Structure 1
């Protein structure tokens, strides 16, 4: 008896070490045996007696049923599922496979007019055998896989002692929390004490044998069970719900970690090893905006793609996402040799992981987009179909003191690329813009708004064959020079964290989210439309700073907490900065085929009017006349300004100056 138990234990421990091919062979062998036994059991059940059918036609029908069942299991992908992660989602596939096997049996029996002999009589095979076979087969397929899954899960974390395991509480009682709890159950590192969920309908109930409590019980549960960590399992919660939960946990002095965001869990599955500390992206994350992949594929698959500013934060992410959608060629253009080298090297590594036939051709070009002939040559040499224009100077304070270079790059660089694209009759052209282009108060925003007008003017030409589009979005999390990066450095240095104004707000989105918007808008664009993602409510920068300080394990030093670690310093808005950003000039929008992407209806300049503006800008750039340059821009965009902005500009002009100069504020918002 003991030897038998030891042998079975050795066999169970051997299972995870087998190759995938051997595991699959075992499963297929089990399925064949299950089908044969289920069919025999169906006859036994039907006749209520020990009976073995021996007729040739019955045996042929049994062979056909087994082959049909195996083919169905393969076709439905059952043999490609990882056994240790077997779950109820497989049920429909097993039901379908069992049904097809039973259908194959009854069809073969019917066409062969199969007869059986029983009790000295010969008659047709009873139809009820097929139904009984279907039921027995499904149970056998399901239970076999369930047992194998349990055995494999049980061997994954041996030895399974929980003596030194850290006690945790999971905040949330949803699908993500249940999956996390199952992973914790097989882990020797953690021990689950309870679930916390604000929904009163589930309080007092049990999940995976663990009770669900209300948030009010968290303090007592943590204290009585010596809990130091809380795992946040709220991947689909709203921003306010997530922030409230994080604040609640941290105010109790507990460490809070989170499961990956939905966009990080491509397969829909994760384990306790994927739980990570809360990051700033978790604070700002909204309910995920799912992309329409067919739009992205339409714009990218099989096409030759050119990306300007390929080494930048947005440009490099466009490169990554485009690369994964099977383009024929990806051409990278950037004036920064180092930035271009980095993204080119990264894409080469991505390429090596792809099958040779699926690897796009990759071309890196160092150069300036201001050279129209150079850009046109790139487009023609590489038969470019689609162009994503991400190249621009974008830092507001820097361009306030470098107006000439900023306008030359952002406006005339865009003009150069647009002319080259239109002249080569590109299929698609998408420009990346900014919310700062809406009623701009900064030189950067104004230069991007004029660049938008350049794109729209060419798109409005009657003989234009290129589908032009513009994408606007707000601050991008962790992009180069972003406020998040600056706050992180200031916190590491011990503060103070500098904020321009206590009420300043900004829209935020992640780099992947921004890039998906660009790719989808590129597929929807036609005549220079402006596309904007619904980004929810803007974020107060002061709240962002407080949360980042708390996440770093420190506290804010203010009047309410004079012994805190990091001080907040309000330094005032800098030249060109707004208190609140907007997304559309006039607020009038139209829906698109994506429920969370809106399209703006805004004024455009026709080519003749635009040419006058561009000639004036070119003349002032050649003379490096900064004052005149701002005057030309203001005249061009004056009709878009908010009345209060026009009044303010008039007052400043009367006082003899246009913009405050020389501010050296050490932060960005």
Structure 2
């Protein structure tokens, strides 16, 4: 129906309502009525004209009555009151008498009839027209403004298929109250029982102010049920219009890390990157490619993408060119092997980068146990080549990505990473380049992490394989890891090892259970199988030892210190002789050297 057709219909209906109200009021007050009398005609025409006039003035005819509320009722009261007041003035002027009782009854009837006609459509629509579109009984966590907004939207937009039947809120003052006709049943501790009692199929978490830790607690309660759990979109997405309030998203594993994400000091980073030349090794990897994405936001003059895998380098180059097509950034792909010292010298000489982020490395623990010589070549010799070339050609800052497995290492991968830290720290002592290393734990979603493996296993119907029920790890997201690397470069004074305080460690089996639930399955459906620890694995990882935590804070939750001893001659000896060693001998020498070094040195800590 067009606006003109709708307007004509409302004018016709309201005209009938006004005349009916006048007729009934005269009948009620006098008991009889003479429709041909001068008084009746003047009153009827005056009220009818006034009603239409004030309806246009107060925009009564422009309201969408399927969404009518108290505001619309107030406009009806205004229109009726103004119409009766106008009629009383006309009666006083033309008839020298104001019939207050008849006008008062007429006004009441106008509010009743017009309000009833308008709200009837909303009630009919809510109760009948869209009743059958409901199919999922929904529990809303949070009875604050966001939760009420969600409930109101679901009640109006029933095509979403979600029927709100209850609120959960820890504010005991709201318990046993009804909001929009929906009861506030209790606190978070009642989620499991409420889901069973009310046959809930869907849970919506609608508390935008939740911290990661609080969200994790709520999700663990929701995970005890068979209901699907979703979460309200981020407020910035709602405010910018990217998403509407009823476009809920699934809870992600990243939401359950139990801590808040890294906050960057953009001013410091801009000084180091904006309009500068930046080089990233391992630019095609999961960490390296995200570092490139984050760096590009700060508008470097050139971003050199170095890696040995042509497909991955091509992929990140195309992505960056498309994403940042409206900037003047020059993206330069370079296919090179970091074990080639001459090539590294050539690359540094050609591009003269201001900052180098060294992300290229072998990181897979079991594979490096089987191939320790490759770990030495890539993680140690490769780092030496890139760092030496950076120093020789006057790079301002060199940031190496390390691992929490470098602390008291039990694996070849961890040992070579610890020795690579020594290499860059030694470079810092004799170079004008500022060399730093950044340590962090497992990265969610990176190649080789448990998340992609678990997802594949769940897609195949299970079981999910976990090495040990007591195995715990620190986790962070790829964007967080990349931001930390970039922040470290901005904070570098030289020789530091930065470590992210990643909150409480997460049990791998709990991570598996959460991912199964987030995928819409029960633990029994998929199953969990324990396979035993693999060579080089520890049940738990360490970020820093107790005596490694410094007190000097250079950034919110970032601490920094320096190591005192470097076993460079021993490292050089291993590099010079490892080709002739047996794998076990090489492994033992790497671990012995790495652990002696870590055991005797006070390190640096960063927590972000």
**1 CA distance for matches of 2:449 and 2:491?**
29
**Does residue 510 of structure 1 match 2:482?**
no
**Does residue 169 of structure 1 match 2:139?**
yes
Give the 3 Å change call, closer, same or farther, for CA 210–429 of structure 1 in structure 2. Answer: farther
In structure 1, the partner of 2:396 is 427
Displacement of 1:174 after TM fit?
A: 4.8
**1 CA distance for matches of 2:242 and 2:211?**
21
Higher mean displacement: 182-191 or 501-510: 182-191
Matched ranges for 1:595-634 at <5 A: 595-605=556-566, 609-610=567-568, 612-634=569-591
| Corresponding residue SS for 1:347 | helix
Are the aligned partners of 2:283 and 2:305 in contact in 1 as well (CA < 8 Å)? Answer: yes
| Corresponding residue SS for 1:195 | strand
Give the 3 Å change call, closer, same or farther, for CA 577–176 of structure 1 in structure 2. Answer: farther
**1 CA distance for matches of 2:364 and 2:185?**
48
**Does residue 472 of structure 1 match 2:439?**
yes
Displacement of 1:334 after TM fit?
A: 0.3
**2 CA distance for matches of 1:386 and 1:527?**
13
Are the aligned partners of 2:466 and 2:508 in contact in 1 as well (CA < 8 Å)? Answer: yes
In structure 2, the partner of 1:566 is 526
Q: Report which of the two structures shows the higher radius of gyration computed on alpha carbons.
A: 2
Are the aligned partners of 1:162 and 1:191 in contact in 2 as well (CA < 8 Å)? Answer: no
**2 CA distance for matches of 1:512 and 1:266?**
23
Q: Count matched residues.
A: 479
Are the aligned partners of 1:443 and 1:576 in contact in 2 as well (CA < 8 Å)? Answer: yes
Q: Give unpaired runs (5+ residues) of structure 1.
A: 11-153, 557-563, 644-669
**Does residue 337 of structure 1 match 2:310?**
yes
**1 CA distance for matches of 2:222 and 2:590?**
50
| Corresponding residue SS for 1:306 | strand
**Does residue 537 of structure 1 match 2:507?**
no
**2 CA distance for matches of 1:416 and 1:263?**
44
Displacement of 1:348 after TM fit?
A: 1.6
Are the aligned partners of 2:289 and 2:316 in contact in 1 as well (CA < 8 Å)? Answer: yes
**2 CA distance for matches of 1:197 and 1:391?**
48
In structure 2, the partner of 1:639 is 596
| Corresponding residue SS for 1:613 | helix
**Does residue 527 of structure 1 match 2:494?**
yes
Deviations 1:32-70 (A, max 9, x none): xxxxxxxxxxxxxxxxxxxxxxxxxxxxxxxxxxxxxxx
Deviations 1:229-256 (A, max 9, x none): 1111345535553344224334343221
| Corresponding residue SS for 1:393 | coil
**2 CA distance for matches of 1:331 and 1:260?**
35
Q: Give unpaired runs (5+ residues) of structure 2.
A: 11-121, 601-608
1:576 equivalent among 536, 548, 552: 536
Give the 3 Å change call, closer, same or farther, for CA 396–285 of structure 1 in structure 2. Answer: same
**2 CA distance for matches of 1:8 and 1:523?**
68
| Corresponding residue SS for 1:319 | helix
Are the aligned partners of 2:192 and 2:221 in contact in 1 as well (CA < 8 Å)? Answer: no
Are the aligned partners of 1:184 and 1:272 in contact in 2 as well (CA < 8 Å)? Answer: no
Matched ranges for 1:259-338 at <5 A: 259-260=232-233, 270-272=243-245, 274-338=247-311
**Does residue 554 of structure 1 match 2:521?**
yes
Deviations 1:469-512 (A, max 9, x none): 21111000011011111122222233332222211100000111
| Corresponding residue SS for 2:497 | strand
| Corresponding residue SS for 2:171 | coil
Displacement of 1:436 after TM fit?
A: 0.2
Give the 3 Å change call, closer, same or farther, for CA 405–253 of structure 1 in structure 2. Answer: closer
TM-score (normalised: structure 1): 0.65
Give the 3 Å change call, closer, same or farther, for CA 509–208 of structure 1 in structure 2. Answer: farther
In structure 2, the partner of 1:187 is 157
Displacement of 1:367 after TM fit?
A: 0.8
Displacement of 1:370 after TM fit?
A: 1.7
| Corresponding residue SS for 2:172 | coil
Alignment RMSD:
3.3
Give the 3 Å change call, closer, same or farther, for CA 567–5 of structure 1 in structure 2. Answer: closer
Displacement of 1:344 after TM fit?
A: 1.0
Higher mean displacement: 410-419 or 180-189: 180-189
Displacement of 1:321 after TM fit?
A: 1.0
| Corresponding residue SS for 1:333 | strand
**1 CA distance for matches of 2:3 and 2:525?**
64
Are the aligned partners of 2:223 and 2:514 in contact in 1 as well (CA < 8 Å)? Answer: no
Give the 3 Å change call, closer, same or farther, for CA 590–162 of structure 1 in structure 2. Answer: farther
Give the 3 Å change call, closer, same or farther, for CA 642–206 of structure 1 in structure 2. Answer: farther
**2 CA distance for matches of 1:306 and 1:642?**
33
**1 CA distance for matches of 2:441 and 2:313?**
24
Displacement of 1:570 after TM fit?
A: 2.2
Deviations 1:248-291 (A, max 9, x none): 33434322112346898896984235412233223335233332
Give the 3 Å change call, closer, same or farther, for CA 499–640 of structure 1 in structure 2. Answer: farther
Matched ranges for 1:397-416 at <5 A: 397-416=366-385
Are the aligned partners of 2:354 and 2:396 in contact in 1 as well (CA < 8 Å)? Answer: yes
In structure 2, the partner of 1:438 is 407
**1 CA distance for matches of 2:129 and 2:558?**
51
Displacement of 1:467 after TM fit?
A: 1.9
1:453 equivalent among 398, 422, 432: 422
Matched ranges for 1:213-252 at <5 A: 213-215=185-187, 218=191, 227-239=200-212, 241-252=214-225
**2 CA distance for matches of 1:286 and 1:626?**
40
